[in-house]
Amino acid sequence: MSEFQGKVVLVTGGTRGIGRACALAFAKEGAAVAVCGRSKDTSEAAGQELAQESQGKV
């Protein structure tokens, strides 16, 4: 069991680059992940990708 299972993680800048990679890593470890970014389009795309990785816990 991961130390992030059942936790909520907020990643600022989580829509691109290193932030997105971190958000995906947290999701794969079982965390519910929230991201924020400057662009609505990239935020929505990141949210969809994270929903797939975290069984909808975005």
Residues contacting residue 43 through CB under 8 Å, at least 6 positions apart: 15, 35, 36, 37
Q: What pLDDT is recorded for position 26?
A: 92
Distance CA 8, CA 57 (A): 9
Q: Which two tokens stand for residue 21?
A: 């990679």
Global pTM reads 0.81
**Domain-wise residue ranges, the chain:** 8-53
Is the CB of residue 32 less than 8 Å from the CB of residue 58?
yes
Q: What pLDDT is recorded for position 53?
A: 76
Q: What confidence tens digit (pLDDT) does each residue in 1-58 have?
A: 679 888 999 999 999 999 999 999 998 888 888 898 898 998 888 888 888 877 655 5
Residue type, 41: D
